[in-house]
Amino acid sequence: LKADAYISTDGRFSYKAAAENILLSDILRKQIQGDAVFSAKSEGQGTFEDPSIKMNAKMIGGTLKGRNIGGGDITASIKDKNISLNADLINEKVKIKGSGRLDGEMPWNLKVDVQSGRYDFLVNPFLKDVPEDLILSLSGKMLLHGDRKNIFADASIKHIVLSMYGYSFTNEQEIELKLDNRKLDMNSFSMRSGNTALNISGDMTIGKNYNVVLEGSSSLSPFKSLSPKIGLLKGDAECVFKITGDWDAPQIYGGLTLTNGAFGLKDYYHRISSLNGYIYIDNDRIVLRQLTGKTGGGDIELSGVLYLKKFSFKRFYVEAKLNNINATVSKNFNVNFGGSILYKGTPESQLFSGDIKIIRARYNERVEWKSWLLKTKITETYKSEISNLEKAALNIRVTGKDNIFIDNNVARATMSSDLVLRGTIYRPVLFGRLESNEGTVYFRNNEFNILHASADFADPNRINPVIVISAETFVGTYKIKMNLEGQMDRFNMALSSDPPLKEMDILALLTVGQTAGDVKGLEGGIGAGEATSFVTGKVQDVVEERMKSITGLDRFQVDPYVSKTTGTVEPRVTVSKRLLADKMFVTYTTAVGAKEEQIIKVEYFLNRQMSLIGVRDERGILGGDIKFRFEFK
């Protein structure tokens, strides 16, 4: 800003001033998305009671929320207490002409002529998420007049088109608005888009009261821009609403019938589709009634109450009844469940509570335990900004009876659950127990029948269960029992046998099928095999997972193996496949390059209580008989 000014003691003055690159955000004294740039010149003289001033301003251009607002010129003058104003704005599409007086009641008048054109930037400040296809086109005029105590206006919008999210709304007749000081009267007018039509009528006294009626039918998609958190909003709605009463405590009455709706939040892949039902507003509350939909391939039924304060939520209670819902916890962990969830709270503090009953679940995720045991624990990282929804507290009970099926490289078993999900959506924690009394765990490429297995969740800071497994298997004439206890990052394992053997003999028996005394001289091979298993753990885990994916096998496992004939460390491959609707399991084990060391196992489940197991090992292949073992559980 450059200026020369003179002020005398008798109240006379004169000045000249000029400024370049004036920003609209500096004038408004607040941050805006985008900006407009002005230049201005002004000069004046006279007295403060009777000044003579001229001003010229030029809007060079700018943007508001990414939309171009164009350029323009403004001229204004004050002489003999008469005020004159002329402006051509937005590339001369908006013309303003006004006049007034500086004495008496200070009367003034203003005429605004809006030529047909795009005025998208006028809508941008009111939208939280501006759609890419936003278009606002309008034309009309406005006459304003008043004095120091009053303001009156008559506006006539001849043509208006508002397009967003693939929908285009236009007026059916001229829209007339009248302002008498704070009272705004609206003639009944309609906005239409295809078969969609909204009618608005009534009046309001700004800062005092409402008397507005809104009725018609509309698509919900354009309302997606009202919140940046909404990722999906579709459907059709027929509504009638009346807003009356005090400005600070309006009363709202009416209802909305929703058909074929869909709703989803950003950053959450869960969506509710096929929403149908009725929602009504009774003064200060919104009631969800008979609202049904689909999510995760199942059914959801919503009901509840949302309490309003002015036009925003004060508190809410929403119950969701769930049936046959499918959810993916992780890549290879799928759950089908039902139950009910209550979502309640305020915009600042929320809670999810309820009961979930697992119908069926399958956990196929591979546990890369060899490489995982060796690597350093990774420190957890957290987001710096967490939304109020992510902060919502959890108190949900999760139960299931013999319907969680684990089938991976570590075990094949059914489990029951009695858990409570606590913490927050962002950092959930589990309390309770997973338990099983049947199934199979794999160790040293041997299959152990589960006697009892449990996982107790009690850590309030993270999901880190205490695992207890008791299992047994037969190797030759020996019955071997394995007990494992501890947490994922530290656990203890004990082996025992009947008839009794030393632990080294048991390990040898599990590795090569013979005790340490029978494999004298091969202890180094056994040790080398164990070392190789851990050193090559990561590569081995990746190969096994990819081969399982490529071949479609349910189990593909590679383990180091000490040959009974040569004493050298060789790879041993185990593959298995479920057949006949999960009633038959076929397992084949072979040492690579050693045809005499092969085992074929066929397991057929007659029902939940009886199974038939047939095993053919290398002795059977060389001429012996197939061995069968019946197990009654």
Instruction: Characterize 242-261 residue by residue with b for buried, 16 or more Cβ atoms within 10 angstroms of its Cβ, and e for exposed.
Output: bbbeeeeebebebbbebeeb
Higher pLDDT, 390 or 240: 240
List the one residue out of 170, 169, 199, 205 whose CA is nearest residue 187.
199
Judge contact between 465 and 456, C-beta under 8 A: yes
Q: d(Cα 375, Cα 430) in Å, to the nearest integer?
A: 25
Q: Is 235 left (phi over 0), alpha (psi -120 to 50) or beta?
A: left
Predicted TM-score (pTM) above 0.85:
no
| CA-wise closest residue to 313 among 395, 388, 419 | 388
∠ at Cα 179 (178, 180), nearest 5°?
120
Q: Read off the DSSP letter of residue 424.
A: B
Whether the Cβ atoms of residue 378 and residue 336 lie closer than 8 Å to each other: no
pLDDT single digits (tens) 534-585: 334 444 555 555 555 555 666 666 666 666 666 665 667 777 777 766 667 7
DSSP class of 103: S
CB 403 within 8 Å of CB 362: no
pLDDT tens digit sequence for 14-34: 999 999 888 877 776 666 666
Percent composition of the chain: helix, strand, coil (DSSP 3-state, to 5): 10, 65, 25
User: Average per-residue pLDDT in the chain?
Assistant: 80
Contact 143, 153 (CB under 8 A): yes
Alpha-carbon distance 16 to 6, whole Å? 9
SS3 553: coil
Closest CA to 570 of 545, 550, 595: 595
Residue 528 pLDDT > 50, yes or no?
A: no
- β-pairing, 411-423 vs 196-205, is unpaired
Per-residue pLDDT, averaged over 382-395, amounts to 79
- Tens-place pLDDT, residues 584-625: 777 777 766 655 567 777 777 665 444 555 555 544 443 334
Higher pLDDT, 173 or 490: 173
> Residue 392, exposed/middle/buried by CB under 10 A (0-12, 13-18, 19+)?
middle
Q: What percent of the chain has pLDDT over 70?
A: 76
CA-only gyration radius of the chain, Å? 39
| Gap between the Cα atoms of 287 and 256, Å rounded | 10
Task: Indicate the range of 110-114, 146-150, 468-472, 597-601 predicted with least confidence.
Answer: 597-601
Q: How far apart are CA 583 and CA 568, in angstroms?
A: 37
Which H/E stretch holds residue 591?
strand 584-591
Average pLDDT over residues 280-298: 88
For 576-600, b where at least 16 C-beta lie within 10 A, e where not — what string? bebeeeeeebbbbbbbeebeebbbb
d(CA 3, CA 13): 13
For 370-380, the pLDDT digits (tens) are 544 444 444 45
List the structure tokens of 341.
Answer: 């969830």
Q: What is the pLDDT of residue 4?
A: 94
pLDDT in tens, 442-467: 876 678 899 999 999 988 888 788 88
List the one residue out of 354, 438, 361, 451 whose CA is nearest residue 400. Answer: 361
Q: What are phi and psi of 528, to 5 degrees?
A: -65, -35
Spatial contact of 478 and 509, defined as CB atoms under 8 Å apart:
yes
| Bridging pattern class, strands 312-330 and 333-345 | antiparallel
* Residue of higher predicted confidence among 589 and 421: 421
- For position 549, what pLDDT does the model report? 57
Bridge partners, residue 42, by sequence: 17, 55
Q: Which helix (H) or strand (E) holds 321?
A: strand 312-330
Question: Which carries the bigger pLDDT value, residue 317 or residue 118?
Answer: 317
* Pairwise CA distance, residues 18 & 462, whole Å: 65
Q: Which two tokens stand for residue 476?
A: 């030759």
Band (pLDDT 50/70/90 cuts) for residue 2 is very high
Indicate the SS3 state at residue 608.
coil
Q: How many CB atoms lie within 10 A of CB 269?
A: 8
Residue 191 — very low, low, confident or very high, per pLDDT cuts 50/70/90? confident
3-class secondary structure for 126-139?
Answer: HCCCCCCCCEEEEE
